[in-house]
Structure 1
Amino acid sequence: MRYKVSHKTRFRYAHPVAFARCNLRLQPVEWSGQTVHDHRLELSAGARIAWTRPIGYLGHVTRMVVDKPSREIVIESRFQIEVDRPTPEPRADDPTVAEITALVRSSTDLGPEGPANYIYPSPSIPLDAEITAWCAEDLAPDRGIVEAGLALATRIHASFTYDGSATAVDTAPIEAFEKRHGVCQDFAQIMIAGLRGVGLPAAYVSGYLRTIPPPGKARLVGADATHAWVVIWCGPARGWIGFDPTNACLVGSDHIVTAMGRDYADVAPIDGVFTGQDGQKIDVAVDVEPIV
């Protein structure tokens, strides 16, 4: 499947801002099963790109600077991408949970996809005994790793309510866990906390999810959204496999990977600072259009 993706963010300020500096993590990575074509960033007048570099994990960060007084800043990321990723399934010969925890402890790969980078607590995902104990119910040591990961993603989906008003971008996993409410970021970070709590390598992925309108309804341009899910290192043979606890599924061709890191802070699509007075409004429009 080939997709055309547009991600447009508009910042509006009640008073002109004298200066703004943003980190943009909008350029999708080359990932197993996906090939990126013709990525472009379009910025409003007064904004300029200072540099682009790897994020340190798997992804790219672009520094955008606005040094002229502005009341509006517009950032639009556009690209086409081919996704040919069959949805994986649990197999009888999958390594067990115990085998994966042993394999990752002996790994010496410290590259962006090295599993040893993703077994420790991170700034936004501390370990928590309560979350670990709850998740461990699905992570028996003798259970196949893919089967176990899917079981945990499915239970999170069944046990938590999607609620965009319940949490914020800096909500700790334990707070969302206790509320049993949250969004895809919360569900992913709760799952990662539990996986790391038993010694499994788990990373946070940001990207996009193709949404399919209900029967008889037209696809609404700009109504898609960014998405987040989990990848687990499932051994040398199977590598990183995606699990989506928001939708209780394994990740296939409907998911588009932008970046992979330890937690949301590593891969946030946009963050930054501005100099000015109070009064900011942010509008985001995302469109994931299948074209083949």
Structure 2
Amino acid sequence: MTEPITEQPAAPDHYAPRRYRVRHSTIYRYDDDVEACYERGFLRPLQTWSQQVLSNDVVVSPDPDVLTEHVDHFGNHSFYVEIRTPHRELVVAKTAFVDVAWPRPSMESLNAFTVADAAVRVGEEADPMERAEYLLPSDLVELGPEVRAYADSILWADRPLGDALQSLYATIYRDFKYELGATSVRTTLPELLKLRKGVCQDFAHLAAGCLRSIGLPARYVSGYVETSPPPGQPKLEGSDASHAWTSVLVPGGEWIDLDPTNDHFADSRYIVTAWGRDFRDVSPLKGVVFTEAKNSTLEVKVDVFRVNPDGSFS
């Protein structure tokens, strides 16, 4: 998961169109032969109102016996990989080129509604199935009393909606420490609220839980964000990671994306791969292997480079 990016002064070009090359490699190594493996994951970025996918190439080694793609229930591109050739290393790599252009959220339009008014209006406007899908609790986004209490301290009923959304990501950013290894993919929201530390996956789940608990549909978004190297140093290939944030449905049918890990709304540095109710719907790669191996390692390499007008990368 991506660590918090180094914040720089807000600049208009954060929302201007950008072209990116995204490379994501997942490498499994085993100390004995894997007789067969069956993997599913999300390897193609989504085509959305904020981004256009120009190309997406997937390479699997060893050569798969089956490689198929379908669009899942949430509209994501789900890949299925089946390999029955004995191997000790599995590499799944993708390279995508994507044009991204996020509009800046209109605080004036959002603040025309209170939190309570927004929940009522969305309930009247939204497709009932989609609303229920992203409003009900899910495996990793439970809506217990701890989550409701935290949400009520930020998203009170008569607060202007735009101010409330800004406060939600800012409060999570302030209240929780980013710490790798503090949580796992099974960490619950009550556990997170006690720990007060975690990673982007946890903060996205918490923001979604807060929004759902006050009646606003919210989805978990998986993707990437452009990061900057330390001053004076070049950006290294493979130095990035996948990222996660939250998207909320507001009156008028628009989804507003917010990132509590980095304390702002999403902008043109953000690239969407998949969305769902929580992490389990959009896990980048998961599956089953048949092997007598006692030990295995996992290596993930990700880089997000901006494509300059002359075709170079930065």
Normalising by structure 2, report the TM-score: 0.88
Query: Which residue of 2 is the match for residue 13 of structure 1?
Result: 30
Q: Does structure 1 residue 125 correspond to structure 2 residue 141?
A: yes
State the alpha-carbon separation in 1 of the partners of residues 162 and 43 from structure 2. Answer: 29
State the alpha-carbon separation in 2 of the partners of residues 205 and 266 from structure 1. Answer: 10
Q: Does structure 1 residue 97 correspond to structure 2 residue 112?
A: no
State the alpha-carbon separation in 1 of the partners of residues 223 and 286 from structure 2. Answer: 16
Aligned counterpart in structure 1 of residue 95 of structure 2, from 56, 66, 78: 78
Aligned counterpart in structure 1 of residue 54 of structure 2, from 37, 40, 48: 37
Which one-letter code corresponds to 2:54 in the other structure? H
* Cα deviation, residue 86, structure 1: 3.0
Aligned 1:138-149 pairs, distance under 5 A: 138-149=154-165
* Cα deviation, residue 143, structure 1: 2.1
The SS at the match of 1:169 is coil
State the alpha-carbon separation in 2 of the partners of residues 260 and 100 from structure 1. Answer: 22
The SS at the match of 1:53 is strand
Q: Does structure 1 residue 288 correspond to structure 2 residue 304?
A: yes
State the alpha-carbon separation in 1 of the partners of residues 47 and 213 from structure 2. Answer: 29
- CA-based RMSD of the aligned residues comes to 1.6
State the alpha-carbon separation in 2 of the partners of residues 108 and 83 from structure 1. Answer: 26
Q: Does structure 1 residue 153 correspond to structure 2 residue 178?
A: no
- CA change 1:230–1:30 in 2 (3 A) is same
Q: Does structure 1 residue 220 correspond to structure 2 residue 236?
A: yes
State the alpha-carbon separation in 1 of the partners of residues 132 and 252 from structure 2. Answer: 13
* Cα deviation, residue 110, structure 1: 5.5
State the alpha-carbon separation in 1 of the partners of residues 74 and 140 from structure 2. Answer: 15
Contact 1:174 1:190 in 2 (8 A): no
Contact 2:122 2:250 in 1 (8 A): no
* Cα deviation, residue 107, structure 1: 4.3
- CA change 1:115–1:95 in 2 (3 A) is farther
Contact 1:101 1:200 in 2 (8 A): yes
* Cα deviation, residue 95, structure 1: 2.5
Aligned counterpart in structure 2 of residue 261 of structure 1, from 271, 276, 287: 276
* Cα deviation, residue 46, structure 1: 3.6
Contact 1:132 1:195 in 2 (8 A): no
Contact 2:103 2:267 in 1 (8 A): yes
Contact 1:59 1:260 in 2 (8 A): yes
The SS at the match of 2:48 is coil
Q: Does structure 1 residue 52 correspond to structure 2 residue 79?
A: no
State the alpha-carbon separation in 1 of the partners of residues 114 and 84 from structure 2. Answer: 54
Q: How many residues align?
A: 289
- CA change 1:48–1:97 in 2 (3 A) is farther
* Cα deviation, residue 116, structure 1: 3.5
* Cα deviation, residue 3, structure 1: 0.4
Aligned 1:157-236 pairs, distance under 5 A: 157-236=173-252
* Cα deviation, residue 177, structure 1: 1.9
- Deviations along 1:164-214, whole A, 9 cap, x unmatched? 110112222221221001000001101111211111111000000000112
- Deviations along 1:62-114, whole A, 9 cap, x unmatched? 11011111100000011100111133242255432112221233345257xx3
Contact 2:62 2:85 in 1 (8 A): no
Bigger shift: 88-97 or 278-287?
Answer: 88-97
Which one-letter code corresponds to 2:102 in the other structure? R
Query: Which residue of 2 is the match for residue 88 of structure 1?
Result: 105
State the alpha-carbon separation in 1 of the partners of residues 69 and 112 from structure 2. Answer: 38
Instruction: For structure 1, list consecutive stretches of 5 or more residues without a partner in the other structure.
Output: none
- Deviations along 1:117-168, whole A, 9 cap, x unmatched? 2110012211121121112211121223232111011000011011111011
- Deviations along 1:8-59, whole A, 9 cap, x unmatched? 0100011111111111112111112211011111100242444211121131
Bigger shift: 158-167 or 270-279?
Answer: 270-279
- CA change 1:87–1:213 in 2 (3 A) is farther
Runs of 4+ in 1 over 4 A off after TM superposition: none
